[in-house]
Amino acid sequence: MSTSRFKPVVALVGRANVGKSTLFNRITRSRAALVADFAGLTRDRHYGEGRIGRHPFIAVDTGGFEPVAKDGILREMARQTEQAIAEADVVIFLVDARAGVNAHDHEIAQLLRRSGQRVILAVNKAEGMRHAAALAEFHELGLGEPRPISASHGDGVVDLIEDALSFLDEADDDDLAAV
């Protein structure tokens, strides 16, 4: 499959209230995802289109992810997120700089490592914080270099999406080398 003919899918994954819907709205330049200060507003996958430079992509907003949920609405929300991960070309795992790392973050990180997907770790709500201090604890998730962003202010978002889609440039270089 040539990545130049299809729009890559970027799934936004993380626990409740880390800013996934805010990031979705920012990168799709829309207000399609509802945003509120309480958990559980987003329950299903929500799709939108974005573009960074010459790369269009499909963004997928997901609900708060609790991979260990056994039943009820939380289990159904987890299934929706697992489906988004499975269909994604790259997953942006969003965590909250102000809340710090918690047990759910570790569970999600473990699932993402097992998934074999490309994963970019984004530390949201990092505006006004010293980045080194805000990012230090997120290294323990074992998902590479954490990237500080502010979905609500836009800080670091363009760089984040460019990093997430960098595999497209690598594929274009490989295609050119094969000619």
61-98 per-position pLDDT tens digit: 998 888 777 778 777 888 889 999 999 999 999 999 99
pLDDT tens string 102-124: 999 999 999 999 999 999 999 99
β-bridge pairing 46-52 and 55-61: antiparallel
Q: What is the pTM of this model?
A: 0.85
For 34, other C-beta atoms within 10 Å of its C-beta total 11
Q: Quick one: which of 120, 106, 104 has its CA closest to 157?
A: 120
* Gyration radius from the chain CA atoms: 16
Report how far residue 11's alpha carbon sits from residue 141's, in angstroms, rounded to the nearest whole number. Answer: 18
Tokens of 74: 């939380």
Looking at every residue in the chain, the average pLDDT score rounds to: 86
Q: What is the mean pLDDT of residues 129-143?
A: 87
